[in-house]
Structure 1
Amino acid sequence: MAASLLLNLGARAMNASQSAINVIGHNIANVNTPGYSRQTAVLTTATPQFTGAGFQGKGVMVDTINRVYNRFLTQEAQVSRSTASGDETRMLNMQRLDKLFPPGDEGLGAAMGSLLNAMVDVTSRPSDPAARQVVLGRAQEVAARFSNAGQQLSELQAGVVSDLKASLQVVNQLATQIANANQQIARISGGDHAANDLLDQRDQLVYELSKYLTVSTLSADDGSLSVFIGGGQLLVLGNQAQQLALTPDPYDALRVQVSLVQAGGTRALDENVLQGGSVAALVHFQNEDLQDARNYVGQLATALAMRVNTQQSLGLNLGTPPVAGEDLFRIGAAKVMPASTNAKDITGNFVAGVQITRVDPDFLQASAYTLKQDASAPGTYLLTRESDGLVRTVADGDIVDGFQITFTPAAPGLLDTYRLEPVATAAIDMRRAFDNPAGIAAASPISGALRVSNTGTATLDRIYAVDPATFTTTNLPATVQFTTVNGDGSVDYVLNGPFGTLNGTWRAGQPIGNETGIALGFELHLNGVPRANDWIDLSVTQFVGQNNGNAKAFLALQTEAFVGKQLDPLTSQISAGATLNDAYSAAMGEIGARVQGSVYLAEMSDKVAQEADTARAAEAGVNLDEEAARLLQYQQAYQAAAKVMQVAQIVFDELIRTVGS
């Protein structure tokens, strides 16, 4: 009996040590397996046997194999990795966006400056074909760079769609794998024993999923794990996984949105619901950063093209006979996108419609707009500027931010919504409109001459038309007579012509002809100071090939702060705009700031994610030094148990010999 008990004790000890060694070997084998959690064999004392001398121990047994797991650290690693993945995705896309706008001579700013600077030679030699050809060449370069920028932005948008499609394929695969893991875990788990390796694999799947979407989890009694994305939208329940898909944006067919596939169709998930991860970052980049860039470039292209075209129309070309200049540039039209849910007739056409027309480039903003009917006041329409959220009430025919809104063929209904893009598509279709150097309208239709009898120091710097709505040559000839020199240095004058008599006051640096009260649509700029009884004669230009007035008007566009003016709807005050160069610098500065911000966030969030991974690994990961020490410990225990069995065999043999004798 004693030998049998001793043999049983040794066998139990050997089995327990062998199990512990197997677990340690399993740990060592998976030291580099992503998501693996260290396992430990839990040894407990076997139930003792009662004897006349008391309870006799029966050795050791393996109670279970535990997985070292910290739910908090695991979830912290998932959340921080989701943030880091999203920040990295945005950083990479912002860096791609930044590369579309090179600095220096290769940039849009340099091209715009070169175009207007080319007019310097035209002012010196108005009829020189070579000087005019340089202007056309610079115009071609400007148009090509804007068009190329627009095209590259479109390609970047296509890349975002491709990345989203690939990401959702991975998300759907991971969701399915998690559901399958749930099914296996629920089937084989029982009592106090867990399917440790399957649990690790499932946690790793959730960790991988968190790189794409912010996820949260909830454990069920059967061991399965429910997975929620964003703001609580169920993705995995037990062994069932829902799928995500890309669906067209309700306004813009080139843009997409992430939707949940349901029995009755799909349901779009709001960008804010997606929260973190690379998918949310891609959607945010598409809807915010990329759209802002398109609007920045479009605003500049529109402002430059429309102002140059307007000035062209106010000058005279070298045609026979000379006529008003034609448009130098063509740009993409303003765009209206009705929501796909707007009311349609039986043929599938929209019942109502909205058109927008650019009317004043100075007030066009780098923004898109949404238009819808006010539900609380039917018949009233609300226009929201997306760049700052400003909401205005508008009606058919209103002009807002430099564009006019027209309802046709019918006014929008109560549930109809529209996205308006006055400038976003302007750059991609920008082209030079003509090839003949004679088409450059360098001459001004109005000329001026100071009388030789003048006694002041005033000289004529430049004179040109500026307002097509008010300028007309039927107001010529005319005269400017300076009458009184005031104490502040200003000089009163009288304008006489077919329009009648107008009175004004000249001040240094301010032109004559288009100020308040004298809206004749031209600007007369002087150098020096006129005196009383000085005269200037104004007439229709006779020698077009020798006149450079309109070329000087083109040059003046460089320093005029006309881009992005705003009219306050409450005070009717007009805020100052920016020069073309300053507007471009501001736009590139904004993009650069976003790039730097995204780099900083990516670095910081990656550091936090690495620290979270390290913290989880420190508690649940495999330490080879520790495993080696434990391996030696159980090896010695195994050897000792074998010695016990050896002694038990000796005792048993001795007992047999004794009984036999």
Structure 2
Amino acid sequence: MSLNSILNIANSGLQTAQQQLRVVSDNVSNVNTPGYIRKIAEQNSLTTQGVGSGVEVASIRLATDRFLQAASLNAGAEAARQGVRYELYDRIQSLFGDPGGDSGFFSQIDGIFSSFAASAEGPTSGARRQDTIFKTQAVFDEATRISRQIQAVREDADGRVQTAVEKVNGLLQQIETLNTEIARATVVNGDATGSQTQQARLVDELSSLLDVQVSQRSVGGVSIRTGAGIQLAGNGAATLEYQRASTVNAESSFGDIYVIEKGGTQRALADGLQSGEIKGLLELRDKEAPATAERLGELVTRVADELNRAHNANAAVPAPTTLTGRNVGQALDTALTGFTGKTTIAVVNPTTGALTTRADIVFSGATLTINGTASTPANFLTDLNTALGGAATATFTNGSLKITAAGANGVAIADDPTTPSNKAGRGFSHYFGLNDLVSTDRPALFDAGLTTTSQHGFTPGETVTLRIAGETGSRIRDVEVAVPAGTGTVRELITALNDMTTGVGRYGSFALDASGEMKFTPIGDPAPKLSVVGDTTTQVPSGVSVTELFGIGGGVRASRADGFKVRTDIQQSPSKLALAQLNLSAAAGTAALSAGDGRGALLLANAGQVASKFSSAGNSPGGSLSVSRYASELSGEIGGTAAALKTRQASAQALATEADARQSSHEGVNLDEELVLMTTYQQAFNASARLIQAAQDMYDTLVGMVR
């Protein structure tokens, strides 16, 4: 071996040791730098014609482990998902207050019925009446506040989705830029570890927003795909597109988040999205929050309905001159068809409380009698006014029935105690809302007793647009259904909705239940979800839409919660609170109404314990149970959901911490190991230097011998 070969070997060893020491120096200086990944200099031996000719640093790489990295990314994404779900749902839970405290929403509902019980002991007490009205209104005010705040939480989630989308786009651009830099350094065998470390940090940040799959490119850098295989980076940065809703309420329709791949292919991000902050925000916005809002809307509706049931069975003293019903969303003859039993409309003297005129109505399906004279739903108004003989007048306008007594007399309605009037579980006065205690600014009851032969009242050609979405919330199809031409029956409308081509028949079916409520039954597992995107229909004469009349979609059902209030005239005059009951058996000339009668107050006090028909809402299948029981179950569900989300958040965070710790243990800097390496490379450097010195000594000796 020549002296030149020896010097070259020693020089390569010297340079290699210097590079190794620089790598160790970088590692030690960044021992406390968050996210820093330890560098490793790969050293190879050099050979020339089978003979060793020194060493070299082939490459400098990061001490990464793709399995540990994948575990950390997945765990971090799930922690972000569960963290944002719990954070926002905890805000929703706090809106209801302490369920065990006196000021909580559910305690206030119990307080309504307690206040009516107190009024029964002193029905003439103005103070007790005022207190009862105040507590009742307070519950509906609180329901309005909670309902709107739930939508505010959804709006916050929607805004954060938009922010997250913009952040993802920025991260993808940076990652793709670093891909170019890393590839350029790889080609010339340069040190790309700085760019790789920065890129790893960006990938970590990206994974907290959505779950990603990361693979190394052969040319350097990374390729990133979603769980569904949509490419985000590695061959050009993809772009996420999302247009947030201009306003967020219970009936808002949210658009999809689309991924525009480098080649221009557009795909829905929600498909295959399993974790990350965006996933958590979408779940809260589209699942947990709407489910709670629907349950709240159903509860408040039944509280109002049961109070109205009792109040319609009562009468104020003195009886009011006018009884004005709510908009029933139907023509009068359609609304009257299907009633059974007996009811009485009475005109009462305001001073003595004696009955002056009465109209006894006996219903029997599609026929009826008034004071023994046969009538029909189509002729009801004319025949009723004839029977009242001018003592009172009944009218029907824009879906509302109104009865007004002549002069200063009052009007009271009572059902026969043996065979009360009934349609869809409601008496005549209750069905039309003639003496409601609680009013609403929109249709709230969807179990209206309609049948497939009932007239729907909508104009042919008007349309309602329904959206079918998958389990993740991504849109499958928007279907525009037109009101069909024909005889105008509900059966024809249902047939149009269920059409396999122009309707939603491929995804489920609509049908009326026994109480006339229209329900959608989805097909498939997982079952698709249905919502309403647009509705141009207007019913004659009520002015309501198909969506409002039948309660199609969860949005219209959830929106009911913020529309209730105690009737304005009762708030202004507590004496109009109906706490008495009309005595239909009172002898002529004797009082049929008495100011000291508190039976009606007891009926109102017991309204919370009466079994009511609850519709399915949120995660509840509904069924027959009392308002108080339903409120208790809802309280437990909200608390249970919050507790479950908290547990998931804690578990996910613990897993993420453990995964990060294991990754850090492998990728992080260990000072003891670096000290050993530093000593090793220092010795290698010294050995190479001594080899050079030995070669020089040999050279000097040879020169001396020549001389």
TM-score normalized by the length of structure 2: 0.66
Map of 1:71 onto structure 2? 66
Distance 1:145 1:182 in 2: 55
The residue that corresponds to 2:193 in the other structure is 196
- Distance in 2 separating the partners of 1:596 and 1:371: 44
Hey, what's the Cα distance between the residues in 1 that align with 2:658 and 2:83? Answer: 16
Matches within 5 A, 1:573-592: 577-592=624-639
Q: CA 1:620–1:333 in 2, change beyond 3 Å: closer, same or farther?
A: same
Rounded to whole Å, the distance in 1 between the matches of 2:13 and 2:266 is 60
CA distance in 1, matches of 2:68, 2:438: 60
* Matching of residue 308 in structure 1 with residue 307 in structure 2: yes
CA shift, 1:181, in A, is: 1.9
SS state of the match for residue 274, structure 1?
coil
C-alpha separation in 1, matches of 2:519 and 2:6: 96
Note the C-alpha offset of 1:621.
2.6
Q: Hey, what's the Cα distance between the residues in 2 that align with 1:105 and 1:34?
A: 49
Partner of 1:556: 606
User: Structure 2 vs 1, CA of residues 305 and 596 (structure 1 numbering), >3 Å: closer, same or farther?
Assistant: same
1:46 aligns with: 46
Quote the offset at 1:623 in angstroms.
1.5
Contact 2:68 2:663 in 1 (8 A): yes
Which residue of the partner structure matches residue 159 of structure 1?
156
1:438 equivalent to 2:579? Answer no
Aligned counterparts of 1:591 and 1:67: Cα–Cα separation in 2? 47
> What letter is aligned with 2:654?
K
Kindly state the Cα deviation for residue 656 of structure 1 after the two structures are TM-superposed: 5.3
2:81 to 74, 79, 86: 86
Give the counterpart letter for 1:318 in structure 2: V
The equivalent of 2:373 in structure 1 is none
- Letter paired with 1:65: I
Partner of 1:570: none
- Residue 439 of structure 2 is matched in structure 1 by 330
The answer for the alignment partner of 2:173 in structure 1 is 176
* Alignment match of 2:558 (pick from 405, 414, 424): 424
**1:495-535 deviations in Å (ceiling 9; x for gaps):** xxxxxxxxxxxxxxxxxxxxxxxxxxxxxxxxxxxxxxxxx
Could you tell me how far apart the structure 1 residues matched to 2:256 and 2:196 are? Answer: 33
Contact in 1 for aligned 2:147/2:293 (Cα 8 Å): yes
Could you say which residue in structure 2 is the equivalent of 1:393?
A: 511
State how far apart, in whole Å, the 1-side matches of 2:252 and 2:672 are: 58
Deviation at 1:263, TM superposition (A): 10
Equivalent residues in 2 for 1:84-123, closer than 5 Å: 84-103=79-98, 104-123=101-120
Structure 2 residue runs without a partner (length 5+): 320-349, 351-409, 413-433, 447-462, 469-479, 485-493, 521-534
Percent identity over the alignment is 23
Number of residue pairs aligned between Structure 1 and Structure 2 = 526
Distance 1:60 1:253 in 2: 68
Separation of aligned partners in 1, 2:511 and 2:262 = 40
User: Where do 1:133-532 residues align within 5 Å?
Assistant: 133-190=130-187, 195-248=192-245, 252-253=251-252, 255-261=254-260, 269=268, 271-319=270-318, 321=350, 323-324=411-412, 326-334=435-443, 338-339=464-465, 352=482, 373-376=497-500, 392-394=510-512, 398-400=516-518, 408=538, 419=553, 421-434=555-568, 435=571, 436-446=573-583, 473=584, 476=585
Displacement of 1:593 = 1.6
Separation (CA, whole Å) in 2 of partners of 1:575 and 1:297? 13
Shift of 1:7: 4.0
Conservation of the 8 A alpha-carbon contact between 2:85 and 2:284 = yes
Counterpart AA for 2:273 = L
Residues 1:353 and 1:115: Cα distance change in structure 2 (over 3 Å): farther
CA distance in structure 1 between the partners assigned to 2:116 and 2:512 by the alignment: 41
8 Å contact kept, 2:207–2:276: yes
Counterpart for residue 354 of structure 2: none
Q: Distance in 1 between matches of 2:590 and 2:42?
A: 105
Shift of 1:49: 7.6
Partner SS, residue 441 of structure 1: coil
Cα separation, partners in 2 of 1:626 and 1:98, compared to 1, 3 Å: same
Q: Does 1:631 align with 2:678?
A: yes
Answer yes or no: is the 8 Å Cα contact 1:329–1:433 preserved in 2.
yes
Alignment correspondent of 1:516: none
Which residue does the alignment assign to 2:391?
none
- The answer to whether structure 1 residue 544 and structure 2 residue 594 are counterparts is yes
> What are the Cα deviations for residues 396-419 of structure 1, in whole angstroms up to 9, with x where unaligned?
x953479xx99756999xxxx963
Give yes or no for contact 2:238–2:260 (8 Å, CA) kept in 1. Answer: no
Q: Deviations over 1:260-313 (max 9, x none)?
A: 357999967374532211101110111111011101111111111122133223
Select between 88-97 and 557-566 the one with higher mean Cα deviation: 557-566
Give the aligned residue type for 1:617. S
* Counterpart AA for 2:649: A
RMSD over aligned Cα atoms: 4.1
What is the rounded CA distance, in whole Å, between the counterparts of 1:651 and 1:208 in structure 2? Answer: 59
Which sits farther off after the overlay, 589-598 or 262-271? 262-271
- CA distance, structure 2, for counterparts of residue 372 and residue 608 of structure 1: 51
Please state if 1:10 is matched with 2:10. yes
Contact 1:41–1:64 (Cα < 8 Å) also in 2: yes
Residue 484 of structure 1 corresponds to which residue in structure 2?
none
Quick check: 1:383–1:392 contact (8 Å CA) kept in 2?
no
SS in 2 for 1:316: coil
CA distance 1:438–1:261, shift in 2 (3 Å)? farther
Cα distance, 1:653 vs structure 2: 4.9
Matching of residue 125 in structure 1 with residue 175 in structure 2? no
Q: Distance in 1 between matches of 2:262 and 2:65?
A: 37
- Going from structure 1 to structure 2, the CA distance change for 1:259 and 1:64 (only over 3 Å counts) comes to closer
Whole-angstrom CA distance in 2 between matches of 1:609 and 1:541: 76
Counterpart-to-counterpart distance in 2, 1:35 and 1:16: 27
Structure 2 CA distance for partners of 1:22 and 1:658, relative to 1, 3 Å: same
Measure, in 2, the Cα distance between the counterparts of 1:584 and 1:628: 66
Q: Distance in 2 between matches of 1:579 and 1:34?
A: 57
* 2:209 partner SS: coil
Q: Is the 8 A contact 2:464 2:482 kept in 1?
A: no
Residues 14-23 or 628-637, more deviating: 628-637
CA distance in 2, matches of 1:550, 1:309: 12
Change over 3 Å in CA distance of 1:427–1:49 after alignment to 2: closer
Contact 1:383/1:393, CA 8 A, preserved across alignment? no
- The 8 Å contact of residues 302 and 331 in structure 1, kept in 2 or not, is answered as no
Deviation track 1:314-337 (CA, whole Å, cap 9, x = no partner) reads 322234635458433233524899
